[in-house]
Amino acid sequence: MSDRCNFSHWLALEGLRATPVRLAVLEILGEALRALRAQEILELIRTRRRVNKVTVYRILEDFTRRGMVRKLSLEGRVNHFELACEHHPPHPHFQCQTCREVQCLEPVALNQMWTELRGPVGNRADHIDIKVEGLCHKCRDMA
Amino acid sequence: MSDRCNFSHWLALEGLRATPVRLAVLEILGEALRALRAQEILELIRTRRRVNKVTVYRILEDFTRRGMVRKLSLEGRVNHFELACEHHPPHPHFQCQTCREVQCLEPVALNQMWTELRGPVGNRADHIDIKVEGLCHKCRDMA
DNA sequence: CTCGAAAATCAACTGAGTTGCAAGTATATT
DNA sequence: AATATACTTGCAACTCAGTTGATTTTCGAG
Ligand SMILES: [Mn+2]
Ligand SMILES: [Mn+2]
Ligand SMILES: [Zn+2]
Ligand SMILES: [Zn+2]
């Protein structure tokens, strides 16, 4: 996906050491074609090395706070994560009601909606999450 | 909010008995000016009567399945609920990053975006959730 | 090499939501 | 009314993604 990102350099810019676990998290998210759950990331890292889940959770939380990663609250209890590098601008997501799989959709222009979405005067709107729910083509074929 | 809803009648239409707990859930959601967490609903019911949390969770889950209530996954782990009666069409929500409070926004027209949001051909899009994150006017005044 | 800070680990915890089953209550049948 | 049946509620124990705090390991500066 984002072959153009130099993760070590990115970490340095953030003042973070390029540790193996941090790099693994970024590489896995960079290769993913969809947003991943923390547990999926953990399991993928474990195919290469021994890691504690707390380490991965803390790294994901830290990356999210720094804006390097986006945390998606698509359904209760399980968060999904995706890279928030310059090559992955924010975009809507599709989630299938049957298999719960998540797809990334193309970015959409919100120009005219943006003003309506601010809500009561005085609110500062920082970003907009769009989630589409339905039945994915795979589950549709099965039915 | 939805004084025009006859909850007993609505339950009858769904083939459900108008039990005190079901009515309490609907009345509380009907009076609410924002989406409520399950725990808030539980506490509000408990100001009137003794209830077990499982009962409330089961009722909320059932109402959600029937489309009488919308479950919002605004942030991990805690769901918010709101009435999905004819007087409350779907609409976007605003959540403050500081106080985590949720506001209901006015419905927006998605006509032109709807087609873009279907994703890969074959997907069936059923509904769209829009969440705006930012800083609410109250938290803004404090800073 | 030495030492302090950053990073990773471990075990124990949290808490929203769930499960299975027993007990209670309304409704239909006789 | 009495009984059978289905629906509803309660209770206790559980799940599991995520968190916390304390301890150990690793790394880089001096
Ligand atoms: Mn995405
Ligand atoms: Mn709302
Ligand atoms: Zn699917
Ligand atoms: Zn606020």
Q: Which domains does chain A have, with CATH numbers?
A: 1-88 (1.10.10.10), 90-143 (3.30.1490.190)
What's residue B112's pLDDT? Answer: 72
What's residue A1's pLDDT? Answer: 45
CA–CA dist A24, B83 (Å, integer): 43
**Which residues have a Cβ under 8 Å from the Cβ of A47 and sit 6 or more positions away?**
none
Q: What is the mean pLDDT of residues B110-116?
A: 78
A78 at B interface, C-beta within 8 A: yes
Full 3-state SS string of A4-43: CCCHHHHHHHCCCCCCHHHHHHHHHHHHCCCCEEHHHHHH
Å from CA of A140 to ligand 3 middle: 7
What's residue B125's pLDDT? Answer: 93
- A135 CB inside 7 Å of strand C: no
Å from CA of B16 to ligand 3 middle: 30
Residue A69: name the closest of A26, A101, A132 by CA.
Answer: A26
**What are the pLDDT digits (tens) for B66-84?**
999 999 999 888 999 999 9
Please report the residues numbered 100 through 119 in chain B whose beta carbons come closer than 8 angstroms to any beta carbon of chain A: 103, 105-106, 108, 113, 116-119
Flag residues of chain A having pLDDT under 50. Answer: 1-2
CA–CA dist B67, B10 (Å, integer): 12
What's residue B122's pLDDT? Answer: 87
**Minimum mean pLDDT range among A68-82, B38-52, B107-121:** B107-121
Tell me the shortest Cα–Cα distance from B63 to chain A, in angstroms: 17
pLDDT at B1 over 70: no
